[in-house]
A and B are shown apart, each in its own frame.
Chain A
Amino acid sequence: MAPLLSIKNLHVTFNTYAGKVYAVRGIDLTVEKGETLAIVGESGSGKSVSSKAIIGLLPKQSASIEQGEVLFEGRDLLSLNKSEMQKIRGSEIAVIFQDPMTALNPTMKVGKQVVEGAMKHQKLSKKEAHHLAIELFEMVGIPNPEVRINQYPHEFSGGMRQRVVIAMALASKPKLLIADEPTTALDVTIQAQILDLLRDIQKKTGTSIIFITHDLGVVANIADSVAVMYAGQIVEKGKVEEVFHNPVHPYNWGLLRSMPNMETKGKLYSIPGSPPDLMNPPTGDAFAPRNEFALSIDYEKAPPTYAVSETHTAATWLLHPKAPNINYTKQSNDDLDEEEISAVNMNDTLLKVSNLKKHFNLPSKQVLKAVDGVSLEIRKGETLGLVGESGCGKSTTGRTLLGLYEPTEGEILYNNTPIKEGNKKDFSQKIQMIFQDPYASLDPRKKVEDIIAEGLDIHGLAENKQERQEKVQRLLKVVGLQPDHAQRFPHEFSGGQRQRIGIARALAVEPELIIADEPISALDVSIQAQVVNLLKELQKDRDLTYLFIAHDLSMVKYISDRIGVMYLGAMVELAEADELYKKPLHPYTQALLSAVPVPDPKIEKTRERIILEGGLPSPVNPPQGCRFRTRCPLATEKCAEIPQWREVEKSHWVACHYV
């Protein structure tokens, strides 16, 4: 049977002011009827560009398709004219975009947006369109569709908006659905809902899906086959089991190994370096400079595509009959084996927080209870992970500890001294912060040297210019940058490098406690591992204590000694990292853990998932008693009382009536 879609030797370039960027450099792909093909890759690998090329949505002025064919049911989509393409778009091929917050027109009712494509393609009457909208809303699980179709996007939560976007894509029963990072902007429990929904829809409608993502866990969960992209080319593709269990391309090895699973200990593997500049793509294998097994031919000639099995192919010289044989499985076990000894003293408390509350007054005279009674201790030299979904108050907690917010209630003891409005200054040197967004957190008009040295200047830690300069250079070296980087500006650096600058800035004043607010969530997988390793090293060398705020549970598990789980402004569980993952007690922790996709298709395709209903209630008006009870599978009437925060086992705290 002929495939639904096949792409042959597609090349896409972009004209920019700086020059021509070779974004997609000759890819071949096929999508069978009814299958889900995942395209994985880091930012800039060309995965989104390829998908946009399929439906002709590349920006007209700058992008051009140099050569190639995109055959959809036998027709070459690239040769169609504008109006022929518009007939296919939205009816035969539909798209789901990444960010549901921006993908919907804020000034148009959602029902109308959902069916407007179908109205055009199928010439529906107003009444038929109305029925279709309701039918679609029911299909994607939006309750109360009669009312909801007449609302505007801002009246929906993120997860619900993504359902609207999916409903919109399904309106004309497309044969191919292109989902471009559809769950990246969502929380894990919502992501689990959406993945479930997509799978369910595929079963019902038999549509094919191209699923673009950077998250290998999601791939393992949803894909039938996988194509791994690097620097505008497909380096490996095959059935999902083949790509995960028998990877043959070194980049794929690197990717799989740089993602910690729940058991990973020791130093995390990280792919060295960063992706090549596609303005001047390398002549040989683009991955060669970062490949520890690179052969000399890798630098001279691009590798051909070898077939490993009928469905499994990869482009690497390592598959050449004469190439050395490298055992990937052995390699990965060797690296991860070294166990480390934790040097944390149980009784040495650095920071103690009791009953911390931070309320914000809204203009509408309501009160947003962002943090509502959090108690925790951070011990000297440990990493305390703080996890929870967006809006749970984890960032607010971090900022309040740093003194950026004045706590509404509660006490913060640092080394047994209470931090108050009056003496806040004394602690500003001891507590530093690393921010999430490496692009927004560095002043674009300042040189790296001045960014890093700002803290030194404020606290008078450098006596003269020379000392200041030396200190900055030393810091740059510590975080793995070059001394001459001091004279450059932030825009000259990649995301990972910028995050290193942010770390150097935090280290400059020699703090004791670093609050890291999602320090890696804006980075690519291979870069994440580099930054996490750096943070771990620094902790060992400089006796640092971390409060590591994140939503990526596997990374938190890997880096943290203890983990606290927050829900809607309150702490629901706190325990040793291993304990929490092996024996989660609170139903929310259990659901959260089960929602995290694991990069292993065997586990992903068989395990039972606890899918939480609905979304996060508003922190303006949280449920009385246990906050989780509106979504909790165990909830009873008793949960209307506030559960006590108690130590059920040694250093395992939980707030639930049923533990």
Chain B
Amino acid sequence: MKKFILVRLVNILITLFLIATLTFFLMKTLPGSPFDEEKLMNLSEELRMEFYAKYGLDEPLHIQYFKYMGDLVQGDLGLSYYYKEQPVSSLIMDRLAPSALIGLQAVVLGLSIGIILGMVAAFRHNTGWDYFTMIIAVLGVSVPNFVLAAFFQFYIGLKWGILPVAYWESYDHSILPTIALAVGVIAQIARFMRNEMLEVLQQDYIITAQSKGLGDWVVLIRHAIRNAMIPIVTILGPVVVSLLTGSLVIENIFSIPGIGSLFVDSIKMNDYTTIMGLTLFYSAFFILTMLIVDILYGIIDPRIRVHGKE
């Protein structure tokens, strides 16, 4: 197991290096620079050069690259071009809290409700429960979350005034964005869980468990759920990613100063270093999620655990 994790960590470093290189050159090949904006249009050539020199943009590309990578190894993501000389790393740290809160809440909410709905649907297969769950699931998958977000804002926020419409001032402000994000997850997980449960409930070992005289709930909880969870773990990775991309939009709609809105702004402003920093941050986050998923696999499924040992 230790060896497995070690190998994976090395792989992660290599992947991150490749991503950093790729984004660096991609960004440089794109037309435009951070100082091309309209209000800076009538900058004198001298001043512009001064800016370039300050941020190291006047040097040849490969020097810029090595410099950037050198800083990166030391954990320095460089200075933001837009947010007046703030280091990118501290920018990300400042913006992390709201995004993390919403994301975490959405994962917990989505997983727990999704799993419960899926289980109930499978256990009450072909009944009203089942149909109800599946309708929710189809709606949740097909209605984009920004539509849902606007819908919530209008009714719950504006019309009925139960919860705040936008901004980030108290805990209450996190509720609507969390729900808007979680609905998609609920739908995805519920559908998946239902199918897995139906499959597992057909298995011989379930009949074996019943033949031992165990009660329905004991069979369900002790024998069925764990086995049905194994494939759920597989889609956890993609689910988390969909939350990330979802949060780009949601944070903008609810005007939340999170990482998602930082990303969107930095792209608008050609803020190279911030874009780079965030891309790396997202990649690292995603890869680590995948690692955790694989470790979770081993915990849930003993067959995979042994494979890891070999």
Judge if B212 is at the interface, Cβ distance under 8 Å.
Answer: yes
The 10 closest A-B pairs by CB, nearest first: A117-B212, A90-B213, A89-B213, A90-B212, A102-B204, A364-B310, A152-B302, A95-B211, A105-B205, A86-B213
- Give, as a whole number of angstroms, the nearest-CB distance from B223 to chain A: 5
| Chain A residues closer than 8 Å to B227, beta-carbon distance | 105-107
Instruction: Decide if A108 touches B208 in the complex (CB within 8 Å).
Output: no
Interface string of A362-398 (1 = CB under 8 A from B): 0010000000000000000000000000000000000
Judge if A69 is at the interface, Cβ distance under 8 Å.
Answer: no
The B-contacting residues of A in range 129-162, CB under 8 angstroms, are 152, 154-155
The distance in angstroms between the C-alpha atoms of A292 and B237, with both chains bound, is 64
Q: Identify B208's interface contact among A103, A107, A155, CB under 8 A.
A: A103
| Chain A residues closer than 8 Å to B204, beta-carbon distance | 97, 99, 102-103
Judge if A55 is at the interface, Cβ distance under 8 Å.
Answer: yes
Q: Which residues of A contact B (CB under 8 A)?
A: 55, 57, 61, 83, 86-91, 94-95, 97, 99, 102-108, 116-117, 120-121, 152, 154-155, 165, 168, 171, 364
The A-contacting residues of B in range 89-140, CB under 8 angstroms, are 125-126
Given A57-B211, A90-B213, 12 other A-B residues pairs in contact with their CB atoms under 8 A? A61-B125, A61-B126, A83-B215, A86-B215, A90-B212, A95-B208, A102-B205, A103-B208, A107-B302, A108-B226, A116-B214, A171-B212
* Closest Cβ neighbor of A362 among chain B residues: B310
- Give, as a whole number of angstroms, the nearest-CB distance from B129 to chain A: 14
* Closest Cβ neighbor of A118 among chain B residues: B212
Judge if B209 is at the interface, Cβ distance under 8 Å.
Answer: yes
Knowing A86-B214, A105-B227, A116-B212, the reply to whether A97 touches B207 (Cβ < 8 A) is: yes
Instruction: Decide if A165 touches B208 in the complex (CB within 8 Å).
Output: yes
| Chain B residues closer than 8 Å to A117, beta-carbon distance | 212-214
| Chain B residues closer than 8 Å to A55, beta-carbon distance | 211
Judge if B67 is at the interface, Cβ distance under 8 Å.
Answer: no
The distance in angstroms between the C-alpha atoms of A95 and B214, with both chains bound, is 13
The distance in angstroms between the C-alpha atoms of A120 and B303, with both chains bound, is 27
- Give, as a whole number of angstroms, the nearest-CB distance from B25 to chain A: 35
Judge if B222 is at the interface, Cβ distance under 8 Å.
Answer: yes
Instruction: Decide if B302 touches A87 in the complex (CB within 8 Å).
Output: no
Knowing A57-B210, A90-B213, A116-B214, the reply to whether A102 touches B303 (Cβ < 8 A) is: no
Q: Identify B226's interface contact among A90, A103, A107, CB under 8 A.
A: A107
Instruction: Decide if A154 touches B302 in the complex (CB within 8 Å).
Output: yes
Judge if B300 is at the interface, Cβ distance under 8 Å.
Answer: yes
| Chain A residues closer than 8 Å to B126, beta-carbon distance | 61
Judge if B301 is at the interface, Cβ distance under 8 Å.
Answer: yes
- Give, as a whole number of angstroms, the nearest-CB distance from B138 to chain A: 23
The distance in angstroms between the C-alpha atoms of A116 and B222, with both chains bound, is 10
| Chain B residues closer than 8 Å to A95, beta-carbon distance | 208, 211
Judge if B255 is at the interface, Cβ distance under 8 Å.
Answer: no
Interface string of B221-243 (1 = CB under 8 A from A): 01100110010000000000000
The distance in angstroms between the C-alpha atoms of A102 and B203, with both chains bound, is 7
- Give, as a whole number of angstroms, the nearest-CB distance from A465 to chain B: 43
Instruction: Decide if B210 touches A103 in the complex (CB within 8 Å).
Output: no
The A-contacting residues of B in range 160-215, CB under 8 angstroms, are 203-205, 207-215
Judge if B306 is at the interface, Cβ distance under 8 Å.
Answer: yes
| Chain A residues closer than 8 Å to B203, beta-carbon distance | 102
**Could you jot down 27 A-B contacts, CB within 8 Å?**
A61-B125, A86-B213, A86-B214, A86-B215, A87-B213, A88-B213, A89-B210, A90-B212, A91-B213, A94-B211, A95-B211, A103-B204, A105-B208, A105-B209, A105-B223, A107-B300, A108-B222, A108-B223, A116-B209, A117-B212, A120-B212, A121-B213, A152-B302, A152-B303, A154-B306, A165-B208, A364-B307
The distance in angstroms between the C-alpha atoms of A168 and B204, with both chains bound, is 14
* Closest Cβ neighbor of B202 among chain A residues: A59
- Secondary structure at the B interface, as helix, strand, loop or mixed, is helix
The distance in angstroms between the C-alpha atoms of A155 and B301, with both chains bound, is 13
* Closest Cβ neighbor of B203 among chain A residues: A102
Instruction: Decide if B208 touches A97 in the complex (CB within 8 Å).
Output: yes
| Chain A residues closer than 8 Å to B205, beta-carbon distance | 102-106
- Give, as a whole number of angstroms, the nearest-CB distance from B208 to chain A: 5
Q: Identify B213's interface contact among A106, A108, A120, A165, CB under 8 A.
A: A120
- Give, as a whole number of angstroms, the nearest-CB distance from B202 to chain A: 9
| Chain B residues closer than 8 Å to A168, beta-carbon distance | 208, 212
* Closest Cβ neighbor of B226 among chain A residues: A107
Instruction: Decide if B208 touches A104 in the complex (CB within 8 Å).
Output: yes
Knowing A97-B204, A155-B306, A364-B310, the reply to whether A106 touches B301 (Cβ < 8 A) is: yes
| Chain A residues closer than 8 Å to B213, beta-carbon distance | 86-91, 117, 120-121
- Give, as a whole number of angstroms, the nearest-CB distance from B54 to chain A: 53
| Chain A residues closer than 8 Å to B207, beta-carbon distance | 57, 97
- Give, as a whole number of angstroms, the nearest-CB distance from A232 to chain B: 21
| Chain B residues closer than 8 Å to A155, beta-carbon distance | 306
* Closest Cβ neighbor of A82 among chain B residues: B216
The distance in angstroms between the C-alpha atoms of A120 and B215, with both chains bound, is 10
| Chain B residues closer than 8 Å to A105, beta-carbon distance | 205, 208-209, 223, 227
| Chain A residues closer than 8 Å to B306, beta-carbon distance | 154-155
The distance in angstroms between the C-alpha atoms of A548 and B303, with both chains bound, is 35
| Chain B residues closer than 8 Å to A104, beta-carbon distance | 205, 208
The distance in angstroms between the C-alpha atoms of A55 and B213, with both chains bound, is 10
* Closest Cβ neighbor of B125 among chain A residues: A61
| Chain B residues closer than 8 Å to A171, beta-carbon distance | 212
Knowing A97-B204, A108-B223, A364-B310, the reply to whether A90 touches B211 (Cβ < 8 A) is: yes
- Most chain B beta carbons < 10 A, residue from A97, A99, A171: A97
- Give, as a whole number of angstroms, the nearest-CB distance from A88 to chain B: 7
- Most chain A beta carbons < 10 A, residue from B209, B211, B300, B307: B211
The distance in angstroms between the C-alpha atoms of A108 and B219, with both chains bound, is 12
The distance in angstroms between the C-alpha atoms of A40 and B254, with both chains bound, is 70
The A-contacting residues of B in range 259-310, CB under 8 angstroms, are 300-303, 306-307, 310
The distance in angstroms between the C-alpha atoms of A105 and B126, with both chains bound, is 26
Instruction: Decide if B303 touches A89 in the complex (CB within 8 Å).
Output: no
The distance in angstroms between the C-alpha atoms of A95 and B212, with both chains bound, is 8
* Closest Cβ neighbor of A83 among chain B residues: B215
* Closest Cβ neighbor of A89 among chain B residues: B213
* Closest Cβ neighbor of A86 among chain B residues: B213
* Closest Cβ neighbor of A154 among chain B residues: B303
The distance in angstroms between the C-alpha atoms of A99 and B207, with both chains bound, is 12
* Closest Cβ neighbor of B215 among chain A residues: A86
- Give, as a whole number of angstroms, the nearest-CB distance from A311 to chain B: 30
Knowing A99-B204, A155-B306, the reply to whether A120 touches B214 (Cβ < 8 A) is: yes
The distance in angstroms between the C-alpha atoms of A423 and B208, with both chains bound, is 52
Knowing A97-B207, A99-B204, the reply to whether A106 touches B214 (Cβ < 8 A) is: no
The distance in angstroms between the C-alpha atoms of A121 and B212, with both chains bound, is 9
| Chain B residues closer than 8 Å to A83, beta-carbon distance | 215
- Give, as a whole number of angstroms, the nearest-CB distance from B292 to chain A: 19
* Closest Cβ neighbor of B230 among chain A residues: A107
| Chain A residues closer than 8 Å to B223, beta-carbon distance | 105, 108
* Closest Cβ neighbor of A95 among chain B residues: B211
| Chain B residues closer than 8 Å to A154, beta-carbon distance | 302-303, 306
* Closest Cβ neighbor of A115 among chain B residues: B212
| Chain A residues closer than 8 Å to B302, beta-carbon distance | 106-107, 152, 154
- Most chain A beta carbons < 10 A, residue from B205, B214, B300, B301: B205
The distance in angstroms between the C-alpha atoms of A275 and B211, with both chains bound, is 30
The distance in angstroms between the C-alpha atoms of A164 and B174, with both chains bound, is 52
